[in-house]
Amino acid sequence: MVMWQTFSAVRVVVVLAGLAATACGGSDGRPPLAPTPTAPVATRQVAGTVVDTDNRPVGGARLSHGSASTESDPDGRFSLALPVGASVLVSIDASGFEPRRWDLGASPDANFRLPIARRVVVTPGEPLAVSLTTDDLPYYVGEPYESDYCRPCKLIRVGGEAGSASPARRVHLRWTEDVALGMWASNGSIGIAAEVVGPRHLSVRTIGVGDSRLLYVGVPLRNTLPQPITFSLTVE
């Protein structure tokens, strides 16, 4: 009995010693290693203005890159903290506008002017007049080859019925000014060139259904737009 009590007492001492060593940081009594501090990511403050293609400010536009985001004020102005020394793509989203991604480069404190295009929708039976300006955006249309590139260009969405049973629609483009325009239809991977119906009159049968039907109207590659013009679209 005396031997058992002695063994139990020794066991208690060993357990308590182990707990004390753990509390002190380890079995050898050294303090625990502190976690390696993470170096803060260096940022640059980028400022600019979001505008439409008529150079009017766009308020309420959401600009984001990773976890960083901000919103333009009523005058279209914004400020956003971005990583230093890296070219970054910033997403721009605003109600009533086509979304856009913009490469802001690696320059700090630059006063960027970021144009975004208003969403344009044409529907059957409702003729639509559209202005094409020198500030409209360039697009690759259909297959991304030079022959399919237009600058400036308007992205047009063909509205109407939604669903797989929706018929393809023929869209007519007309204008009066003596300038070369092109019209292309695309479902995101395939481009269809417009038919020449007459002087300053092109026609194309759209593909896809509902909101996925896209048209691009603009100045073909290597041509110029000397001044803004107005063109009309009708959908049969």
Superfamily of domain 43-116 in CATH is Carboxypeptidase-like, regulatory domain (2.60.40.1120)
Q: How far is CA 143 from CA 37, 149, 154, in A?
A: 49, 9, 17
The CATH code of the domain at 120-235 is 2.60.120
Global pTM value: 0.72
In angstroms, the CA 31 to CA 35 distance is: 12
Average pLDDT, the chain: 79
Contact 215, 156 (CB under 8 A): yes
* Residue ranges covered by each domain of the chain: 43-116, 120-235
Contacts of residue 12, defined as CB under 8 A and 6 or more positions apart, other chains included, come to none
pLDDT, one tens digit per residue, over 202-230 is: 999 887 665 567 889 999 888 889 889 99
What's the pLDDT tens digit per position in 175-208? 999 899 999 887 655 678 889 999 999 999 887 6
> Residue 71: its pLDDT value, please?
97
Cis amide linkage into residue 138, ω under 30° from 0:
no
Query: Residue 174: what pLDDT?
Result: 97
Q: Can you point out the beta strands (E) in the chain?
A: 43-52, 62-65, 68-71, 77-83, 89-93, 100-103, 111-116, 120-122, 128-132, 139-140, 149-158, 170-175, 182-186, 191-193, 195-198, 201-205, 214-220, 229-235
Provide the pLDDT for residue 12. Answer: 41
Question: Could you tell me which residue, 86 or 9, shows the higher pLDDT?
Answer: 86
Residue pLDDT, tens place only, 3-61: 444 434 434 444 444 444 444 454 555 666 666 666 566 888 889 999 998 889 999 99
pLDDT the model gives residue 39: 58
Report the pLDDT value the prediction gives residue 209, as an integer from 0 to 100.
65
Residues 6+ apart with CB under 8 A from 105: 87
What pLDDT band is residue 164 in, cutting at 50, 70 and 90? low
Asked if domains 43-116 and 120-235 share a fold, the reply is no
